[in-house]
Amino acid sequence: MKPYYLLAVLPFIAILGGAAFVNRIEPYVLGLPFFLFWIILWAVLCSVIMFIIYRLDPLNKENEE
Amino acid sequence: MNIALIIITAFLLISIALGLLAKRGKEMSMEQWAIGGRGFGGIFVFLLLAGETYSVFTLLGTSGLAFNNGAAAFYLLAFTALGAITSYWILPPIWKYAKEQNIVSQSQFFSVKYKSQGLGLFVAIIGVVALIPYITILFKSMGILVSATSYGAISSNTAIWIGMIALLVYVMVSGIHGSAWTAVLKDFLIFFVILFLGIYLPLHYHGSFHGLFQAVHDMKPHALTLPDKGMSVSWFISTVAISAFAYFMWPHNAPTIFSSNSAKSFRLNAVLLPIYALMILFVYFVGFTAMVELPGLKDGDFALLELSLKTFDPWFVGIVGATGLLATLVPGSMMLISTATMITTNIIEPLKPNISDKHKGWSAKGFVVLLSLVCTFFSMSSGDTLATLYLTSFSLITQMAPSLYLSLRKKNVVNKYGAGIGMFAGIAIVIYVTFSKTTMADLFPSLPSIIQDLNIGIIALFTNVVLMLVVSLLTRKSTVAVSYSSPKNNAL
């Protein structure tokens, strides 16, 4: 277990744990109601976080088969 | 025949031609037909997995859910992004084991991993049962698609028959190779069509996205947030959690996963798939625009098509329809191929061990036809929305996740009895609830709505896990005693 793997837990906390707090319309961000914006934000951050993990992980440097 | 239908038919012929081209010059053994000989690279695997994720359900079912239930539809984007992450850790060990053991299907994975043909057979049956609602979605969508784009000239039932025959021809021609190439065409089309519709329609009718959401808010003040009861916050959290948890459990994902040539593909997919999920956002835009523009529409699953019919010339409706067609053919063929492969390797082969490869191929194709007929029947008789069918399918496949995930550990605490009984209980609950239309509120009338609104799949999953562990523990006493006495295990 590499410590930076824990970064991947953040989106789960934000979306599952955050839902009760962000279930609101105001403020609109980028024209989107806040609840929708929050989910979009974290979908993007999922990719960003996984990219960071992908680059840090030595597994992806070696050539398997 | 109008222009829209002509364009759709042309795309059908193109995809069949692509399938024929892909097949030419290749000996099709069962392994070839089903998993392309394990030779697909990272981007190709991404396209296939994305192709399975983005089906005609994304177009019609997602916009329909947004149209009918507003913010509840956001669960689809949320779980897709979260589920995709799990690819990084879950898929490489599955792929590696399958490669070492020459496994071609999900049920075979179970039968080899748990050293039990019986369990493999059982998983094959679950897989078939779980895919029936999903394939039903596809046929229903095909009916909606053809009847809407024919401007009502073709009835929905006739359209379902036409769609089913088209899908069968397509599957018979080439197996997974055809799917891969058509998947490229389909992903290209679905990407641009969704983006175009999702941007053009709100801007055309409301000037901006903000304008769209304000119009929605003025018309239905509660559509943009989750309600206090029903599809509430606790429904959202529980549904996202179990759907993300079982994201790759679809039986038709398994052949795609096995068709990869390296484990690295899956880690790359974990990076690419979440951002790709943003496509769903644009489908929401379409659903919400329809909510404002088509206030009289009864069936939300028609929202995207009806709005297209209202807004565009027939030729463009044809392009939208063709996209829907390909978004049915690609995942549909994957599902039919994988279920038929499972039935053949896990039910037919154990019964007739000396069956030749040629006969296996025939038997797999026979089951494709049989399954199509069953789903055609369901798609004509079921009155559920696409989104409801999708939720049912998901609750079913979720039941396979616990015993599969635990089997990836070096020392698996679950044995075949626990796995089998746990899954059986989970599936039984889901099926009972689906057919009897029981809700959590019926089961627990006195509990607060935060519990009542939980996705019923959670109860099924919980029962499944508890039984799985208890039964494994009870049936394994002797072996546990032995392993505790060995010093090697004490060190762990």
Helix pair angle (B117-149, B416-436), 10° resolution = 30
Identify which has the larger pLDDT, B108 or B350: B108
Q: What is the pLDDT of residue B486?
A: 42
Asked if residue B151 and residue B219 are part of one domain, the reply reads: yes
Residue B102 covered by a domain: yes
pLDDT band at B492 (very low <50, low <70, confident <90, very high): very low
Q: How many CB atoms lie within 10 A of CB A26?
A: 8
pLDDT of residue B83: 92
What pTM does this model have?
0.86
| CB-based contact A16 B241, cutoff 8 Å | yes
| Cα distance between residue B346 and residue B344, in whole Å | 6
d(CA B412, CA B416): 11
Report how far Cα B431 is from the mean position of its chain's Cα atoms. Answer: 18
CA distance A32 to chain B (A): 6
- Residue B490 falls within a domain, yes or no? no
Are B300 and B222 contained in the same domain? yes
Cα distances (angstroms) measured from residue B372 to each of B128, B322, B366, B376, B377: 11, 21, 10, 6, 9
Q: What is the CATH number of the domain that holds B102?
A: 1.20.1730.10
Contacts of B262 in chain A (CB under 8 A): 64-65
Domain match, B355 and B403 both: no
B135 shares a domain with B22: yes
Determine the structural domain holding residue B463 and report its residue range: 399-478
- pLDDT tens per residue, range B333-385: 878 877 777 777 777 777 777 777 777 777 777 888 888 888 888 888 777 77
Residue closest to B414 by CA, chosen among B465, B461, B464, B469: B469
Are residue B207 and residue B278 in the same domain, yes or no? Answer: yes
Rounded to 10°, the helix B156-174/B3-23 angle is 20
Nearest CB among A31, A42, A43 relative to B210 is that of: A31
Asked if A26 has any chain B CB less than 8 Å from its own CB, the reply is no
Quick one: what percent of chain B has pLDDT higher than 70?
89
Residue B78, pLDDT above cutoff 90 = yes
Six-digit token pair at B447?
């509990």
pLDDT tens, residue by residue, B438-481: 777 777 777 777 887 888 888 899 999 999 999 998 887 655 44
Question: Is residue B201 scored above 90 in pLDDT?
Answer: yes
Rounded to the nearest angstrom, the minimum Cα separation between B490 and chain A is 21
Closest among B211, B166, B143 to B15, alpha carbons compared: B166
Nearest to B110 by CA among B482, B337, B418: B418
Q: Are residues B159 and B268 in the same domain?
A: yes
- Number of structural domains found in chain B: 2
CB-nearest partner of A47 from B210, B233, B275:
B275
Average pLDDT over chain B reads: 82
Query: Contact A24/B225 with Cβ under 8 angstroms?
Result: yes
- Identify which of A23-27, B166-170, B266-270, B284-288 has the greatest average pLDDT: B284-288
What pLDDT is stored for residue B37 in this prediction? 55
Q: Outline where B150-278 has alpha helix (H).
A: 156-174, 176-206, 209-219, 233-245, 253-258, 264-276
- The H or E element containing residue A31 is none
- Domain final position from B384, B419, B442: B384
State which H helix or E strand residue B335 sits in.
helix B314-343
Query: Chain B: nearest CA to A7, how far in angstroms?
Result: 11
* A7 at B interface, C-beta within 8 A: no
- The per-residue pLDDT for range B4-20, each reduced to its tens digit, is 888 888 888 888 887 77
Smallest Cβ–Cβ distance between A64 and the set B77, B78, B264 belongs to: B264
Same domain, B372 and B411: no
Q: Quick one: B247 and B309 in the same domain?
A: yes
* Domain C-terminal end among B345, B360, B384: B384
Mean of pLDDT values over B158-169: 84
Determine the pLDDT at residue B485.
41
Do B375 and B408 fall within a single domain? no
- Complex ipTM value: 0.92
Q: B295-309: per-residue pLDDT in tens?
A: 888 888 899 999 998
> Given an 8 Å threshold on Cβ–Cβ distance, is A47 in contact with B272?
yes
B233/A19 Cβ within 8 A: yes
* CA distance to B208, B255, B262, per residue, from B77 (Å): 21, 24, 28
pLDDT value, residue B481: 45
How would residue B34 be classed by pLDDT, with cut points 50, 70 and 90? Answer: low
The answer on B414 and B368 residing in a single domain is: no
pLDDT at position B139 over 70? yes
pLDDT band at B113 (very low <50, low <70, confident <90, very high): confident
Determine contact: A52 vs chain B, CB below 8 A: no
Task: Please tell me which residue, B376 or B40, carries the higher pLDDT value.
Answer: B376
- Determine the pLDDT at residue A39: 94
